[in-house]
């Protein structure tokens, strides 16, 4: 199906001022704005692990495959430029599936005004696999990395956490615009997006920065979905779910106190942003107890 | 296995002057040389279609997954910059397999002095899938595209064709250095690498250029492997195999006559380069008969 499908894709995909050559040659050509760095991230999603194709529309699967990558660009405060999409389609229903998947991808790509600039469409005897590589570029302020947090910085978080399995893990909005706005208007030291769990990803950010982080548990915004799951299954509390469920695709940011106070006062985003803790010198993850002391917090999350 | 494996990968992977941030953050950062364009290509390989994992060492599979992408960069006459590698590993033997695959990838990446800058390592209940995205940049002379051939240009080809299934499809050398040297020293109009078959890929190049191509069949360099297969199985002749087998990963170039004559005289590559035909005004693929007339040639090749 490759040639007919490539023809269909070529008709569907949008242009972009920096895309110099899209689908149809051996490779795509992109112009990166002079003085900016190219930002590249890639995620591969498989049936039965990241989604269950029997239970979900292919549009939502395609959307998710792009969205998780845009979330990684957001974590670096990068402007999205293009997506490269490769799929291994089960041969029994390849064409119908492909159209659904790409519809979901194109809807989100249009929202963020990026083209699908390349990829590889395959059929095979196995189940569905989607691999997306997202390309972006840094802004004039440079990139936001995991390694810039300093003890004393506050931990700011967008949105709510936990229970994404009830639907949010498909329908979340990657925080691209939020990250770009915050990075442009405020002083940020480091950032990460929460894919594997708030506590696990926060511990990664702290580790890369050579420090620790202490969380004010009662300040963590717990989603309704997390509460709903906790009341149906008492093996995990709502806060445990907020700390460990993953696929929230919210931003965790390390922000110096002055800048953090300004952000919290301004609330400049369409989504709430709040302070859930502070980076500390002592490595590891901690809770801030009512008396101000720190206690070790077990890292929860989704280790692939 | 993701974290332990990422740690191993971080130790293995090489540096590159243009790689500003590699594995370990949400995305990689690369500096594209000012004035150059980014070149991006992606290929996804699956078990039982592109290789049979039961019958081949994972090192060769990994090598091939990178090599097919470098061949695409060569077709654009681009300098390789980095590779992004994502895998879906069968969970029963994920770790052993992953090490073998990445060994093959690193060996070839070292040969072309590029780092593995990112990717995604997954396990799942299915069979092996490898998705590689290769990043490169154009040279000072710009890119070589499929669309630049003009009637009168000669069709030059590197190497030999046919029978790659006997081993060449794993062990070929992507013609990166060859493409860069030719593009730098001579006037080239268009290029493509032969992945799906000489006649199919040549017809694509001609189609994108809005012209046709006529082949001098007795000038096509037929590989020993093609002859070997043809003598064992008489359903296809050696020349049919050279025209249709695919996965030769040689270059087909559209070169104006003066420049072509110079290349043929100089033979500036480690591999032979020869003239196998000419681009013509009349669309489609043709043979050049002994009396100089053109006859239609059926396009053979591997349509996925």
pLDDT over threshold 80, residue B85: yes
* Residue closest to B213 by CA, chosen among B135, B278, B156: B278
Residue B32 Cα, gap to closest chain A Cα (Å): 7
Q: Do A41 and B34 touch (CB under 8 A)?
A: no
Confidence of residue A6 (pLDDT cuts 50, 70, 90): confident
> Does A127 sit within 8 Å of B72, measured CB to CB?
no
Report which of B59, B71, B247 is spatially closest to residue B168, judged by C-alpha positions. Answer: B247
All residues of chain B having their beta carbon less than 8 Å from the beta carbon of residue A4 are: none
ipTM for this prediction: 0.92
- Contact list, B86 vs chain A (CB under 8 Å): 42-44, 131
Count of CB contacts below 8 A, A vs B?
203
For B38, nearest residue in chain A (alpha carbons): A30
**Interchain proximity B30–A20, CB inside 8 Å:** no
Residues of B in contact with A67 (CB under 8 A): none
CA–CA separation, A163 vs A160, rounded Å? 10
Q: Which residues of B touch A76 (CB under 8 A)?
A: 25-27, 29
pLDDT tens per residue, range A210-248: 999 999 999 999 999 999 999 999 899 999 999 999 999
Mean pLDDT of A111-127: 94
Give the strand pairing for B154-158 and B78-90: unpaired
Which of A26, A123, A131 lies closest to B75 in CB terms? A26
| Closest residue on chain B to A142 (Cα) | B29
Q: What band does A304 get if pLDDT is binned at 50, 70 and 90?
A: low
In Å, how far is A302's CA from the nearest CA of chain B?
10
Q: Is the pLDDT of residue A1 over 80?
A: no
Can you give the pLDDT at residue A22? Answer: 83
Provide DSSP, B155-216: EEEES-BS-GGGTHHHHPPP-HHHHHHHHHHS---EEEE-SS-HHHHHHHHHHHHTSEEEE-
B residues 219-258 lying closer than 8 A (beta carbon) to A: none
Cα separation, B95 vs B9, whole angstroms: 12
SS3 A50: coil
Model pTM?
0.94
**How far is the C-alpha of B286 from the C-alpha of B217, rounded, in Å?**
10
Task: Please tell me the predicted confidence (pLDDT) of residue B155.
Answer: 98
**pLDDT digit string (tens) for A159-214?**
999 999 999 999 999 999 999 999 999 999 999 999 999 999 999 999 999 999 99
Interface with chain A: mutation pick from B44, B67, B188, B246, highest number of A CBs within 10 Å: B44
C-alpha span between A22 and B226 (Å, rounded): 34
CA distance A262 to B183: 55
Task: Note the helical H segments in chain A.
Answer: 2-12, 58-75, 94-111, 168-171, 176-185, 198-208, 224-232, 238-244, 257-266
Check if the beta carbon of residue B276 is closer than 8 Å to that of residue B157. Answer: yes
């Amino acid at each position: 199906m490759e040639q007919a499908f490539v023809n269909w894709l070529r008709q569907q995909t949008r242009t972009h001022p920096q895309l110099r050559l899209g689908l149809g040659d051996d490779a795509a050509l992109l112009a990166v704005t002079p003085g900016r760095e190219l930002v590249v991230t890639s995620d591969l999603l498989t049936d039965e692990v990241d989604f269950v194709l029997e239970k979900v529309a292919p549009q939502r699967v395609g959307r998710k495959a792009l969205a998780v990558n845009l979330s990684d660009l957001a974590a670096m405060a990068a402007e999205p430029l293009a997506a490269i999409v490769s799929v291994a389609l089960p041969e029994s229903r390849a064409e119908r599936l492909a159209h659904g998947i790409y519809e979901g991808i194109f809807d989100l790509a249009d929202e963020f005004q990026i083209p699908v600039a390349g990829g590889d469409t395959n059929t095979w005897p196995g189940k569905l696999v989607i691999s997306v590589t997202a390309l972006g570029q840094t802004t004039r302020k440079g990139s936001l990395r995991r390694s810039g947090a300093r003890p004393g910085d506050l931990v700011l978080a967008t949105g709510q956490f936990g229970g994404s399995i009830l639907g949010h893990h498909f329908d979340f909005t990657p925080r691209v615009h939020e990250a770009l706005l915050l990075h442009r208007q405020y002083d940020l030291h480091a950032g990460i997006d929460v894919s594997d769990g708030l506590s696990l990803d926060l511990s990664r950010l702290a580790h890369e920065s050579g420090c620790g982080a202490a969380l004010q548990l009662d300040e963590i915004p717990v989603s309704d979905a997390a509460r709903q799951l906790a009341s149906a299954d008492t093996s995990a509390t709502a806060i445990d779910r907020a700390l460990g469920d993953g696929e929230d695709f919210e931003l965790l940011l390390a922000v110096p106190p002055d800048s953090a106070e300004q952000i919290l006062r301004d609330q400049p985003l369409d989504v709430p942003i709040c302070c859930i803790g502070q980076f500390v010198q002592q490595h590891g993850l901690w809770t801030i107890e009512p008396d101000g002391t720190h206690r070790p917090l077990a890292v929860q999350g989704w280790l692939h």
